[in-house]
Amino acid sequence: MRRIQLRKSGVSVFSLLFLAVAGQRAARADFDTVNGRLVIPVDDDDAALDTDSPDDLTLKGGIRIRSAGGQLAQKAQRAVQSGRVVVSGTVRSGTESRGPSGDSRGDARNVQANDPALDHIARFNVTPPTRPFEFATQSETSAVRSGNHITVGYNSSADSVVTQIGNALFFTQLKFSGFSTSHDGGRTWSSGFVPAVNDAVAPFTFGDPALAMDRRGNIFYASLGTDANGGNNALIINKSTDHGSSFGSATVVAIDNGSDKEWLAIGPDPTAPARDNLYVTWTSFKRASSQLWLARSIDGGLTFTSRPLFAPVDDGVQSSFIQFSNPVVDLSTGRLFIPFLHFSDGDADNVRVLVSDDGGLTFRFLAFNIRGAVDPFAFPNVTPGTLNDCLGGGVRNALVAGASQGNLRGFPILKQATRLITQPHAVAARGTFAFVVNSNVSPFFGDDSQGSEINLVVSTNGGRSFLPTVRVAASTAADFQHVHPAISLSSDAEKLTVSYYIQQADRRLRTDVATLQIDDGRVRLKKTRPLSSTAFDLTPSNIRRTPTATTNFDRTIVSCYDIGEYQTLARSRGDDDGSITAAWGDNRQTWTSPPDSPAAGTHSQADVFTARVGDDD
């Protein structure tokens, strides 16, 4: 079996925004404000691939030194720091229209959460001519529930605004952090976008939603954004005091120009049980490494203090890069668990788990003691997927469909693709700690010939020891790939629910949900059933436009981004009725791209769908 080796020089993430066409890049790159308001130049996706740029270096998993979202934030930062201002040129809005889409109303099992009326198309009369902007992507969900009140956060391009100034195009608003709220248990939904830190000057948020709720019912929405003047990248957090109907302006959690993939957890401080602490973890990317950081608030999110928790050094076996932290708090004890992925220099990367019993002041690693692992604290795992060339988006692990559009760097370029990661999604309650991961059946990275499965790792004694790994979903000829799982645990720590994507033999995707029981130190799989009421196609997310450039049909979004990189299961604190809300990226709706689009015609689009799941389903 051929073992695939990729150059490994750094790891960065997958925040989504991909700046695209409108020509004259060098002439416009430093423009920063119009009438005191920050704007971001629209970039050109026809530029030749610069193999000397650090951002173009291919590494394991196609993870790049800087993500597309990070590049967008970096561009905003350079613009505002340059001190140059657009002083002339007529300001014009584009011609707005709708891309006709399908209708999911009447589905008794699944309900669309995002408002499809917010999706839109914008055209501009510029020289040289530019293709339309199709703002029609929603995916990557995080949710909270309190009885019938449910709020789902997700990435969305629908609140993007492009403005023409002279003959140039600029993003004058880009609110990528969307949300939908239901007050009737998920039957009906309203949609919105969380405010930035300063909408009057820098109306930009960059997604990666992570939602959590405190004991008083306040909802906190953590995401990527900027500081008040847009000059620095930031971790930001918004608060809702009305069950998710609205959110206040964002607060800066931490300034970090290398930040990515933040995650939020809330729970009691072990030393002050009457107080809820807020914990935000993220990856901070450096030139040749990345670090795990933690910010903590003990005053309800008014202020935060932050520090690095783990800064690996490449030793020839383990790399100097980490990513995909997912903190959780055991509400019964206040114990804080932080699982994350530590990239290796070989095929299998390693999940590691930090744990704190003093409210995030000190930490220790949990031991897995797995035979053959690089050390006692490593849980080995090979990320699934086939290697697909997303050109500007890097060579990426992905689920793919359709025929290849050629070969530029030794890998196929498939038009329909959604990229894959390994994030250990975790839960904790009453001394039980568990996480799920998607795992390649093959031990070799990049070899998808044996499919992928969902694995569950459980400790019933607070992490002192772990039970044998449970295979929740296995690869078969009909259902070959299983990826991006989410997990929920009942407050009595007896019932586990796991949802995940499946790619079928016909290359369409669906979501399934499994229920498991924990009895006497054993985990038993009770039942598995479909979650989505229909299977769906991948979107045209990697269309080859030039020999060296591909594009998503929604040009705001990086190539090969479709369903997002995580889904969610949300239950009420205290499990009042055992109901769980599932939310996921779903492509069952159709979108009709205009004739001058690279994806002209009718095809699938990415939306957010929800369903009710019970503990006994």
Q: pLDDT per residue over 99-137, tens digit each?
A: 655 556 567 799 999 999 999 999 998 888 899 999 999
314 assigned to some structural domain = yes
Residue 12 domain-assigned?
no
Q: What is the pLDDT of residue 127?
A: 85
In angstroms, the CA 17 to CA 137 distance is 11
pLDDT bucket at 97, cuts 50 / 70 / 90: low
Domains of the chain: total? 1
Q: Which domain holds residue 284?
A: 270-346+348-380
Q: Is the pLDDT of residue 370 over 70?
A: yes
pTM of the model: 0.90
Helix (H, G, I), strand (E, B) or coil at 117: helix
Checking if the pLDDT of 6 tops 50, the result is no
Bridge-based pairing of strands 386-389 and 379-381 is unpaired
Looking at the domain assignment, is residue 281 inside a domain?
yes
Please report whether residue 227 resides in a domain.
Answer: no
Q: Calculate the alpha carbon distances from 461 to 138, 248, 383, 434, 504 in Å.
A: 39, 39, 28, 11, 37
pLDDT of residue 21: 23
In a domain, 324, yes or no: yes
Beta strands in 249-348 (DSSP E): 251-255, 259-269, 272-285, 290-297, 305-310, 318-323, 328-329, 336-344
> Is 128 within a domain?
no
Residues 168-188: tens digit of each pLDDT = 888 889 999 999 999 999 999
Measured distance CA(567)–CA(551) in Å, rounded: 24
Answer for the pair 382, 440: CB distance below 8 angstroms, yes or no. Answer: yes
The answer on pLDDT for 69 being more than 80 is: no
End-to-end alpha carbon distance in the chain = 41
Residue 276: inside a domain: yes
- In order of 17, 314, 616, the CA distances from 452 in angstroms are 28, 28, 26
Under a CB-based contact definition with an 8 Å cutoff, are residues 417 and 399 in contact? yes
Q: What is the mean pLDDT of the chain?
A: 86
DSSP for 167-187, written as a single string: TEEEEEEEEEEEEEEESSTTS
DSSP label of 391: G
Q: Is 475 within a domain?
A: no
